Structures are given as structure tokens and as C-alpha cells.
Amino acid sequence: MNNPPNRKPAVVGADLYDPMLEPRYTDIATFMRAPLTSTLSNVDIGLIGIPTDLGVTNRAGARHGPREIRNASSLMRTFNLGLGVNPYRLCRIADLGDVRFSHRYDLGKQVEEIAAFYAAVHAAGIFPVSAGGDHSITYPIFKGIAAREPVGMVHIDAHTDTWGEFFRSKFTHGAPFRLAVEAGLLDPHRTIQIGIRGGQNFLEGIEFSRSHGMRVVFIEEFAEVGVDRVVAEARKVVGDGPTYISFDVDGLDPAYAPGTGTPEIGGITTLDAQRLLRGLRSLNLVGGDVVEVVHHSIRPAIQPSWELPLCSRFSV
């Protein structure tokens, strides 16, 4: 690519400059210092914030996730040592801003508005990488991008998120993948859930996952067999069909990601999470998200799920 998309005019003087090369504490905080755009044209990968936590069942705060992640992602740089690529040279990456809502107190309406946004992004041929927001956002993302063909999924999380109604709402952050399967948007046989653990009041969620054919890797199995065999299993499960990566930061151990709303001890390290994501490169990816980051996150803890979706699609 001849024209690095990241150049900006300097407000004083006639120069162009590249925010990525400036000290990390300077300039406006966009996702990974990518240019902020107000159009869907000329974008290969779109970074999108979804600032809502209306769907949580415990501590709220993920509405602040997009801004926190924009700030934290200033620490990233262009060349990814782990993957050996510079995605900014391979494709046009832009920050598309936040999904806007006209309703803020109605989960059902939010589902519609998110779905409409992603349908437009999808129609523009953009690969979406999203920053939640709580996990309830993934179901409407699927409505926007998987309407024609169900996707497979690599899902990293402490919880299966396949539960039913909670306090009279079916759209909470405990339910997106049950809804997606029921709507024919997610193929459970091409779905793997990694890092599952913690207490439950009902087993219906886990039973839904299993009875519909999802592969559930509990944390005990993860610790037993190690990350490399989990990667192999994930690649086998999703195959070469269209695949989505959904990364709930509570899949990580709270020592690594304390700023999340429903923490569970005994989770994955960031190093294993990076190895897991990088192991998925060159799959047929169609999108990804990182969710459940709340305001007081320790900032370095929220990078891992961003790595792969960006890089794997374009590297060969």
C-alpha cells in the first residue's frame, strides 16, 4: 500500500505527520491510533465502539469500555512482533467511532440499532472489530453480519452466555449465543467456548451449549492440555467456514483483567490468550470483539483480543 492511511495534517505548519510515531501520550485517543473516519468508504478494517452496559447482571461500567480501550490502545505500535506483520501496511484501518443510540433504556431497541449499524458496515465490505460494552452486543452484531449465513465462533469467556431470560429480559449479557443459535445466526457445531468456569445457580446455559453441539472447554481442561492443543481443537471445530472471535475479558484471570463486571478467579493468563489468538491466524474470519471492559480496568490488560482480528485476515 503506497499511501499509509494514518498521516494527518499538522494544524500549524504544512506537514503531514503520523500519530503512530508520536509519543504514546500525545494526540487524540482513537482505537490503536487509527484515523477517525466519518464515512464507510476506503476502509478495510473498522474499529467500532458500542458504549452500553444495559445488559449486565452484576456490576455495570462497560459503557465506558470504548473510551478506556481507546486510551489504552495508544500503547500499541504498528509492527506486531508475535505475528511478524505490520497490519497498517497491509490494509486500511480506521476508527468508525461509536454506535449511536436513540434509546438508552430499552434492550430490545438497542438490539435493533446495533444490528442496523452492522448491517451497513457489513454491506460496505468492512471487517468489524468491536469494543463493548457488555456481551449483549454480540447478538445484534451477528444480526448485522450473519444474516445470510450462520457463522462459527471462537468464544473466550468464563461463562457460556447461553442462558435464558433473566429478571424478565431475554437480551441480557448472559444470553447472546442462545439467541444467536435460535435465530440461525450462529452455528453451534462450529462454536467452541474456552475458559468456562465458576459457580452457577442453574445449569441450563451449559446444558444448552452442550445439547446444541457447542464444544465447551472448561478451564480445567485448558489447564490440563495446554494452549497449543486448545488452539488445534478450535481450528478443528470452526474449520474453514466464516468465523467470529468473541473475547470477554472475564475469560482472563482477574489478576490480569480486574476491571470487569463479573470476575471469576482461576482464569487464563494474557500470555496464553495471546498465544491462543495468534494460533487462529489465517482462519476465515469475519469479525471480532472484546467486551466487558469497565472503567477502572488496568489498561494494559485489554489488548489481547485486538491482535488477531486485525492481523490474521490480511497476512498470508
Among the residue ranges 96-104, 179-187, 207-215, 234-242, the one whose residues contact a copy of itself (CB under 8 A): 96-104
What span, in angstroms and rounded, lies between the C-alpha atoms of 146 and 242? 9
How do 45-49 and 93-98 pair as beta strands?
A: parallel
Does 225 sit near a copy of itself (CB under 8 A)? Answer: no
Minimum CB–partner distance for residue 303 and a copy of itself (Å): 6
Nearer to a copy of itself, 150 or 311 (CB): 311
Among 120, 142, 113, smallest CA distance to 54 is for: 113
Does 21 sit near a copy of itself (CB under 8 A)? Answer: yes
Among the listed residues 4, 5, 57, 164, the single contact to a copy of itself using CB under 8 A: 57
How do 215-218 and 93-98 pair as beta strands?
A: unpaired
Among the listed residues 51, 140, 287, 309, the single contact to a copy of itself using CB under 8 A: 51
Nearer to a copy of itself, 109 or 212 (CB): 109
Among the listed residues 34, 44, 66, 131, the single contact to a copy of itself using CB under 8 A: 66
Nearer to a copy of itself, 99 or 180 (CB): 99
Instruction: Kindly list the distances between the CA atom of residue 211 and the CA atoms of 3, 142, 151, 188, 214, in Å, as whole numbers in the listed order.
Output: 50, 21, 18, 9, 8
Backbone angles phi, psi at 274, to 5 degrees: -65, -40
Are 74 and 24 in contact by the 8 Å Cβ rule? The answer is: yes
Does 81 sit near a copy of itself (CB under 8 A)? Answer: yes
Nearer to a copy of itself, 1 or 184 (CB): 1
Distance of CA 241 to the CA centre of its chain: 19
Does 53 sit near a copy of itself (CB under 8 A)? Answer: yes
Are 173 and 163 in contact by the 8 Å Cβ rule? The answer is: no
Q: Which of residues 123-162 bind a copy of itself (CB under 8 A)?
A: none
Among the listed residues 2, 3, 39, 316, the single contact to a copy of itself using CB under 8 A: 39
Are 50 and 56 in contact by the 8 Å Cβ rule? The answer is: no
Among the listed residues 7, 26, 207, 225, the single contact to a copy of itself using CB under 8 A: 26
Residue 50 region by backbone torsions, left for phi larger than 0, else alpha for psi between -120 and 50, else beta:
beta
Q: What is the CA radius of gyration of the chain?
A: 18
Are 262 and 57 in contact by the 8 Å Cβ rule? The answer is: yes
Among the residue ranges 148-156, 185-193, 199-207, 280-288, the one whose residues contact a copy of itself (CB under 8 A): 199-207
Among the residue ranges 207-215, 234-242, 258-266, 281-289, the one whose residues contact a copy of itself (CB under 8 A): 258-266
Minimum CB–partner distance for residue 32 and a copy of itself (Å): 9
The SS3 call for residue 99 is coil
Among the listed residues 44, 157, 264, 292, the single contact to a copy of itself using CB under 8 A: 264
Does 41 sit near a copy of itself (CB under 8 A)? Answer: no
